[in-house]
A and B are shown apart, each in its own frame.
Chain A
Amino acid sequence: MNPYEWLQTILFFIALLALIKPFGTFMAKVYQGERTFLSPVFVPCENLLYRICGVDTDEEMGWKVYAAGLLLFNVMCGVALFAILLLQGVLPLNPQKFPAFSWHLALNTAISFTTNTNWQNYSGEQAASYFTQMFGFTVHNFVSAATGMVVAIALIRGFVRRKASAIGNFWVDLTRSILYILLPLSLVYAIFLVSQGVIQNFSDYKTVPLVQPTTYDKPRLDDKGNPLKDAKGNPITESVTAQSVTIPMGPVASQEAIKELGTNGGGFFNANSAHPYENPTPLSNMAEIFLILLISGGLTYTFGRMAGNPRQGWALLAVMLAILILALGVLYWAESNGNPLVAKLGVYGINMEGKETRFGLAGSSLFTVATTGTSCGAVNTMHDSLTPLGGMMPLSLILLSEVIFGGVGTGLYTMLAFVVIAVFVAGLMIGRTPEFLGKKIEAREMWMSIITVLTSGILILVFSGVAMMVPSAVASMANPGAHGLSEVIYAFASMSNNNGSAFAGLNGNTIFYNLTGAVAMFIGRFAPIVASLAMAGSLAEKKYVPPSLGTLPTDKVPFVLWLTLVIVIVGALTFFPALSLGPIVEHLTMLGGN
């Protein structure tokens, strides 16, 4: 690492840590209905929205009603997007005249954006109109992020409230997430990103002459648009010279900001945050990484503050930081060593396949671990082209159920499920009734935590196994052998955990992956959400047990270490065999020179 890369990484983490407390405090105030500096402007707007939608703000909900509201709202969102995608051809703001999505691609995409996954089996600049990008994808980036956040807040209330039957009002929490947190930050950041070069317009795609015209072989097509082949079965090509190229335009910055802030990750363009119009400078790159981690990091402090013990929040953040920095170190090390098979060909330097020059290795590595530790899934580096051990880092971060900061809200509620498990196991070891924040942890809480933590693991292993038995699914792999297996595991890991990044060589736009992926994303999102809300309901009903001598302190260093171990062990036990067959085998074959 050169000194600049050290310096920019250290400065990044200092800046992030400096904002955790003020931003976490702000979010706590918003959800508790206290006054903030935004209140004078937004309280009237907020009340107007409640009046329009017929919401009684004084009504508190039990967990079942809360969950019902959340599910109904999300299903309606998904239906709206599905309709937009199927009607794209006749809707306005479509200068490139893109046709409708196929039904299975529309279904996959609608569920993908509703579940905050943003897995993309299409390429934005060739398939999605401006109307779809704005009224479809941008909207979902906001509402799916807000959905994750309110579940975390409801779960915190479960720990804090005593002998209560209600965990909050879903509509109020949802509205406040968007109005006070997501919209103002996105607005400021979008303008900042434009200053760096991210585009924001509604122009038609621009045709620009090339300084040096480029000649290429174009496959000849018959009348029906199928490629022609000669007698030997090779495609017939003709030499064509391109004098100009078409550069796509669009309202990119407004989507880019919320895409990172809400840990959504669905790129406006196919190349996502590697595209110079989405991420033009090293500074825009750092700003985007910052956005990805900001809310999830801040929520740990929100949790500590609402629970009346900020140290508890810092303890969770410490676990997240420790694993993130470890993964960052391994990834950076693996990539800086370069690819030995390529070095043999007479090439020197780090592995640059699938990386952009401007970000530097520090900027590429930091983005990669941030986007997979959270459920973001935006990429500024093509994960498929990372070295085997390098590529294992983003894969492992996703497989750890995305608690290393995690998605907005999802990271915190999944981390709290791990805390419950850690407390329970520790309780068994020392022979005490396990308790956390003065609430007894009993069978029901354990069940809900296990559902939250293990749903994605089951989905990944089952669907990857099925894919290996379906010939058409195997044919979608772009790279042969162990690397191809990594592509499939990565795909289902990404969808089940609602990440959305990919080892993108895999051709996911087939009926098999569109439909199995849709199921994995839906269950992977809503099973843990309902389980977390059920746990919130059950915890809220319990009485408070004051800490005694036998209480395990959960805000001290030993517990931080213990929790880290529990997370790593659960992940390792679930996935070690799969990781051995994919990245680890590939690493060994690479060193062996085959």
Chain B
Amino acid sequence: MKELKPAILFVIVFTILCGGIYPAVVTGIASAVFPKQAKGSFITDKNGRMVGSSLIGQPFSDLRYFWPRPSATSDFGYNPVASGGSNSGPTNPDYLKTVADRVKSLHDTGIQGNVPADLVEASASGLDPHISPEAAKVQVPRVAKARGVTEEALNKLVAAHTEDRQLGILGSLRVNVLALNLELDKLAP
């Protein structure tokens, strides 16, 4: 039992070092060098009011807005304190019914033919801020009609908000839905 004393002392030492000093140092450097990111990448409007985070998606269901991906967070979609996916298995009958309902509600808004998977399948985090460029494009006619703007103007807006692969290689092409909708409100209020 000679090892009991160092066992206890090392638990205390490493708790202070790894649990106290290390996170404190990271916080200090991070808030000095990358203050915006460290705080949560929040977006403010021209009055300085916080309107959301560019990393956290928001629920949109109005015909006048581009819709995000479905979200399986509890209470309501895009609830940031309840991150998570649906965890539905691929053959679960309830899940297949949910997807069929989502396809129908898209068709009800005038979208025709097959729809892109990301627009009817829930994300892993439930907070995914992005949709694919295809998912944005199929919504253009609906938003154009609801806002009374030309589809051409909206296509341009979507193209301008399509983020390239990072460093030209990594990840996929994507559109930030919140940023796109905020811009939409400025373009055609």
Taking Cβ atoms with an 8 Å cutoff, the residues of A that contact B are 4, 7-8, 11, 49, 52-55, 65, 68-69, 72-73, 75-77, 80, 123, 125-126, 134-136, 138-139, 141-143, 170-171, 174-175, 178, 183, 186-187, 190-191, 194-203, 205-206, 208-212, 214, 216, 218, 242, 245-249, 251, 253-255, 258, 269-271, 274-277, 280-283, 285-286, 338-339, 341-342, 345-361, 363, 379-382, 384-388, 478-483, 486, 503-505, 586, 589-590, 594
Contact = CB atoms under 8 A, between A and B. Distances in A.
Contacts of B85: 271, 274, 353-354, 382, 384-385, 504
A171 B97 CA distance: 57
Interface in B87-131: 87-93, 95-96, 99-100, 103, 107, 113-118, 120-131
A570 B61 CA distance: 52
A351 B83 contact: no
6 contacts: A72-B4, A73-B11, A178-B14, A211-B182, A342-B90, A353-B88
Given A208-B50, A504-B84, A134 B92 contact: no
Interface in B114-172: 114-118, 120-132, 134, 165-167, 169-172
Contacts of A354: 85-87, 121-124
A512 B171 CA distance: 40
Contacts of A379: 124
B39 interface: yes
Given A53-B10, A388-B90, A357 B69 contact: yes
Which of A351, A352, A382 has most B Cβ within 10 Å?
Answer: A352
Contacts of B120: 342, 347
A68 B90 contact: no
A505 B87 contact: yes
A455 to B, nearest CB: 24
B19 interface: yes
B18 interface: yes
Nearest to B175: A357
Contacts of B57: 276
Nearest to A50: B6
B40 to A, nearest CB: 5
Nearest to B163: A358
A286 B33 CA distance: 22
Contacts of A286: 170
Nearest to B60: A212
A197 to B, nearest CB: 5
Nearest to A382: B85
Interface string B56-78: 11111110010001000001111
A146 B115 CA distance: 49
B84 A80 contact: no
A352 B125 contact: no
B124 A212 contact: no
Interface in B8-36: 8-11, 13-15, 17-20, 22-23, 25-27, 29-31, 33-34
A200 B27 contact: yes
Given A212-B65, A249-B40, A357-B130, A76 B58 contact: no
B125 A385 contact: no
Contact of A214 (B31, B59, B82, B90): B59
Which of A75, A187, A349, A590 has most B Cβ within 10 Å?
Answer: A349
A349 B103 CA distance: 14
Nearest to A258: B18
A147 to B, nearest CB: 11
A254 B22 contact: yes
Nearest to B77: A214
B187 interface: no
B86 to A, nearest CB: 7
B126 to A, nearest CB: 7
Nearest to A199: B40
A200 B171 contact: no
Given A72-B4, A346-B113, A356-B130, 8 more contacts: A136-B19, A143-B14, A170-B3, A199-B40, A271-B83, A277-B56, A355-B121, A357-B172
Contacts of A271: 83-85, 124-127
A175 B14 CA distance: 9
Nearest to B52: A208
Nearest to A67: B3
A394 to B, nearest CB: 14
Given A139-B19, A214-B77, A283-B170, A346 B114 contact: yes
Contacts of B10: 49, 53, 73, 171, 174-175
A282 B91 contact: no
Contacts of A69: 3, 6-7
Contacts of B62: 212
Contacts of A486: 89
A245 B75 CA distance: 11
B117 A349 contact: yes
A285 B37 contact: no
A275 B125 CA distance: 5
Contacts of A205: 81
A171 B11 CA distance: 11
Nearest to A210: B58
A212 B58 contact: yes
Of all A-B residue pairs in the complex, the 6 with the closest CB atoms, nearest first, are A282-B171, A505-B87, A274-B124, A349-B117, A483-B89, A271-B83
